[in-house]
């Protein structure tokens, strides 16, 4: 009787284990070749998958988020970021699809700034200004990569040494970026850096989102909320004037959920200067909160929801105004004007030349550290 009972219990445990193995899921990280850089360096692609089947593909070239596959309200997965099928597309890319941006995200006016009385001259790659780090920013670098443990998902650490004088910036800047795809369907990005000489730094990611999925048209029907009472108006070169302007009564008021297309073609002077939205919003923060909600986007047809959480003081909202259809991405899809949106968490543009803006200076012995989370869910 005892022996028969033991067999029954053992069989039940074995069946339970087999059932769990058949139905349960665990995350994984897979590495494969993605081609070579223009200098002949091997480029790898890491595909992170969480226990829910959500998938993030990240390239060591530019630290690019190549794809991000998340489910819609019916559980059907879809890629929600624009990009290319091979590294060659990113080599020739001028729109920063999915890339890590540095040393300085966004624009620096007249391609120069002054630190401790010394003026540093940068590369002009956006009219008279410097944009996203210069001619060869972090988006054109091959990053070192290694898988690292994560408590709640899969993590990849990328590293890069930006040498003193690169693109005109001072100091040897040692940069570390950790991508974590959590089991809560979040893509968490942690940026950190140290320097051996006083410098400026402003790191971000430039993913282009279309929550309806690839080839689904424009993002004008996406509904957006931004946690910002003010934005930074710009001049004709899209450099901030220094003013912090109230969003109330303007097309920049996204404090309540609003369709992106509702006012994107208004006669507002700032809208005309940007060709749509291409502006930094000043985020409202609760005292003591280490990380706060910056924006929330809903795509009504699929039910996909994107929340952006960050430790940064600003977010650049960009509606893909400069996409002109000349870039053909994954599956040959033509990326046309307003076919995606960007929500780039950041310090403010041109901060090195704007003493009233939050400082982007980094000194030897200090550690730059920021965190941004792109959190995905669905609603009916």
pLDDT at residue 12 greater than cutoff 80: no
Sign of CA dihedral 258, 79, 305, 358: negative
Would 95 be classed as within a structural domain? yes
Would 175 be classed as within a structural domain? yes
Cα angle 97, 99, 101 (rounded to 5 degrees) comes to: 125
44-71: pLDDT as tens digits: 999 999 999 999 999 999 999 999 999 9
Examine residue 258 and say whether the peptide bond preceding it is cis (omega within 30 degrees of 0): no
pLDDT at residue 20 greater than cutoff 50: no
Q: What is the pLDDT of residue 16?
A: 35
Active site residue 279: no
204-231: pLDDT as tens digits: 999 999 999 988 999 999 999 999 999 9
Eight-class DSSP state of 234: B
Q: What is the mean pLDDT of residues 82-104?
A: 97
272-327: pLDDT as tens digits: 999 999 999 999 987 788 999 999 999 999 999 999 999 999 999 999 999 999 99
Q: What is the pLDDT of residue 45?
A: 98
Alpha-carbon Rg for the chain, nearest whole angstrom, is 22
| Alpha-helix residue ranges (DSSP H) falling in 48-162 | 87-92
Would 10 be classed as within a structural domain? no
Active site residue 206: yes
Spatial contact of 200 and 178, defined as CB atoms under 8 Å apart: no
Q: What is the pLDDT of residue 5?
A: 35
Taking the CA atoms of residue 115, residue 119, residue 122 and residue 124 in that order, the dihedral angle to the nearest 10 degrees is 120
The Cα-based distances of 287 to 227, 290, 291, 315 in angstroms read 14, 9, 10, 18
Q: Which residue has the tokens 């690839």?
A: 214
Joined tokens for residue 341: 């949106």
Q: What is the mean pLDDT of residues 325-331?
A: 95
Q: What is the pLDDT of residue 14?
A: 34
CA distance 380 to 261: 21
Would 9 be classed as within a structural domain? no
Q: What is the mean pLDDT of residues 67-90?
A: 97
Our count of domains for the chain comes to: 1
Q: What is the mean pLDDT of residues 352-371?
A: 98
The CATH code of the domain that includes 367 is 2.70.98.10
The Cα-based distances of 217 to 26, 213, 346 in angstroms read 34, 9, 28
Q: What is the pLDDT of residue 370?
A: 98
Sign of CA dihedral 265, 262, 328, 237: positive
* CA-closest candidate to residue 239, choices 205, 275, 280, 284: 280
- Give the number of other Cβ atoms within 10 Å of residue 13's Cβ: 10
Eight-class DSSP state of 63: T
What share of the chain has pLDDT > 90, as a percent? Answer: 91
Would 5 be classed as within a structural domain? no
Q: Which residue has the tokens 């990053």?
A: 143
pLDDT at residue 4 greater than cutoff 50: no
> Among residues 132, 166, 186, 206, which one is catalytic?
206
pLDDT at residue 17 greater than cutoff 80: no
| Three-state secondary-structure class, residue 5 | helix
Would 20 be classed as within a structural domain? no
Q: Which domain holds residue 367?
A: 28-378
Would 248 be classed as within a structural domain? yes
pLDDT at residue 355 greater than cutoff 80: yes
* CA-closest candidate to residue 200, choices 235, 240, 170, 159: 170
Would 21 be classed as within a structural domain? no
Q: What is the mean pLDDT of residues 144-152?
A: 96
């Amino acid at each position: 009787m005892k022996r028969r009972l033991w067999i029954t219990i053992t069989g039940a445990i074995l069946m339970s284990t087999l059932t769990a193995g058949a139905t349960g899921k665990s995350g994984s990280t897979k590495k494969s070749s993605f081609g070579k850089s223009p200098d002949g360096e091997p480029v790898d692609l890491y595909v992170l998958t969480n226990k829910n089947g959500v998938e993030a593909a990240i390239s060591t070239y530019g630290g690019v988020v190549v794809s991000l596959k998340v489910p819609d309200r019916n559980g059907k997965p879809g890629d929600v970021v624009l990009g290319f099928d091979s590294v060659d597309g990113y080599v020739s890319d001028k729109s920063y699809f999915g890339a890590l941006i540095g040393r300085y995200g966004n624009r620096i006016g007249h391609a120069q700034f002054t630190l401790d009385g010394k003026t540093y001259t940068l590369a002009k790659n956006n009219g008279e200004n410097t944009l996203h780090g210069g001619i060869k920013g972090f988006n054109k670098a091959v990053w070192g990569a290694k898988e690292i443990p994560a408590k709640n998902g899969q993590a990849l650490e990328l590293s890069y040494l930006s040498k003193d004088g690169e693109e005109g910036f001072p100091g040897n800047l040692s940069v570390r970026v950790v991508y974590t795809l959590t089991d809560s369907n979040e893509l968490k990005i942690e940026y950190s850096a140290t320097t051996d000489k006083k410098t400026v730094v402003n790191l971000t990611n430039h993913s282009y989102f279309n929550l309806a999925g690839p080839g689904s048209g424009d993002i004008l029907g996406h509904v957006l909320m931004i946690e910002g009472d003010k934005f930074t108006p710009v001049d004709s070169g899209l450099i901030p004037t220094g003013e912090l302007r109230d969003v109330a009564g303007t097309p920049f008021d996204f404090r309540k959920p609003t369709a992106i297309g509702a006012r994107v073609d208004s006669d507002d002077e700032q809208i005309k200067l940007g060709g749509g939205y291409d502006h930094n919003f000043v985020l409202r923060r609760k005292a003591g909160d280490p990380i706060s909600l910056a924006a929330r986007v809903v795509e009504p047809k699929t039910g996909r929801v994107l929340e952006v959480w960050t430790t940064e003081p600003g977010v650049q909202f960009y509606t893909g105004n400069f996409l002109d259809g000349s870039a053909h991405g994954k599956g040959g899809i033509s990326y046309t004007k307003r076919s995606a949106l960007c929500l780039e968490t950041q310090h403010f543009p041109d901060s090195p030349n704007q003493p009233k803006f939050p400082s982007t200076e980094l000194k030897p012995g200090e550690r730059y550290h920021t965190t941004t989370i792109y959190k995905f869910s669905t609603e009916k």
